[in-house]
Chain A
């Protein structure tokens, strides 16, 4: 048995940030390629938020007494709808993780030497790409409806940062739920059950000041509120933040990091 053996090219001991990024981007890129193969998926998912703006926004705009400050209700609603569509796309990410497990694709990732955190962050970034693509559709629609958008480059970069963070946050949360429930059927039930409270117990479609005190408390620990608050400040011309823009960023970043840490531990057990 004197066969010449090629040495493996991997297995370097030291942690290298460049390697970590290569592996993270590989995971995210695979999702982007799939999106390119089937772009219709994006269009169909954009229908729901457009209906919120077009129908809900138009009707509720005529209600007096919503404390939306100087902004029109449609202006107030647009960032909420953007945040909502990002949430709805991200929250079902766990379902695709279970789906990948059932198909066997998850094994391909888990047997590779990529650190589990690279896999989790790669998946989170993939969800961010979807979120950004959705946002583009909603921006176009909002502009057509006459929402007073800000096109200041710094504001747009800020909006991108919020969408990337929020997508990563909710998709990783969804991944953790998937690791707990483990089957598609159970996830479907829970996914529906989760999105509605997150959405309604936030400042997405009405101001927190209108809520009863107990709901106000819930909405203050709901990450969606901080995403909407940041988006309201950056997306609208003359927009303002209620909690402070940097506080919004910090809140989303910290929750995301905590969730990524948890998901990194749980993700490999999805196959057991």
Chain B
């Protein structure tokens, strides 16, 4: 028995010396942290810092080279199917099927996540309503705006009430209005299902607004970890997280690394 009672355990995600190599390149280098249940946690770093690779390992999409990680009490390498049953994952690329309607996409997820048949349509309708997509549910997803598609994917990823919702750059490419709407819906959703939220971004303002804690990632390593206030504190009251990042890593977020 490896499952830990989630209410008794303090952390829902644990990474210990997590490492991933691609040939000679070390994409993620001995990263350790733990994330508490219902915490909102951001991974911040420039493109190529290793955020996506880290998230792929935590969501079982990529096996770690060394080190270990567990999510909801299950080991990502040894019990991937159990991990997947307890998480939602919104990947960086649009994963909703453009050739299906919003409702059909939701129904596909409901069946893949084994939502009991009798509850399926009720839960799908409720999730669509919560994300403000009821009016668009019968339209093909390729006609959706970027923000609408993101909201649909978040609804698809949380239909089974996961313990952790992972989102890889959830608001990249969205206009400020679209970003605000996505976050308003995510916060509402978190109040309802109480999931921990782990997301990557390179928008510092976004991280400062919505996060409990932030991990700064640079060159595959964990450069700093703390609440936005703690990280700023070390650099003076007027410092932004951008300043913190520059002070810690000697590079900036925008130009900090090679493109992925």
Contacts and interface: CB of A to CB of B under 8 A. Distances in A.
B112 A114 contact: yes
Contacts of B114: 9-10, 12, 19, 22-23, 113
B37 A1 contact: yes
A48 B259 CA distance: 45
Contacts of A113: 81-82, 84-85, 112-114
A109 B62 CA distance: 15
Nearest to B107: A26
B140 A10 contact: no
Interface string B161-199: 111000000000000000000000000000111110000
Interface in B119-156: 140, 153, 156
A10 B96 CA distance: 21
Contacts of B221: none
Nearest to B104: A33
A8 B163 CA distance: 7
Chain B: interface secondary structure? loop
Interface string B60-102: 1110000000000000000001101111110111111111100
Contact of B93 (A23, A26, A30, A104): A104
B108 A5 contact: no
A80 to B, nearest CB: 32
A23 B160 CA distance: 14
Interface of A: 1, 3-13, 19, 22-23, 25-27, 29-30, 33-34, 37-38, 103-115, 268, 271-272
21 contacts: A1-B36, A4-B194, A5-B37, A5-B163, A5-B193, A8-B163, A9-B115, A11-B82, A11-B86, A23-B111, A23-B112, A105-B95, A105-B96, A107-B61, A107-B89, A107-B91, A108-B109, A112-B112, A268-B61, A271-B61, A272-B62
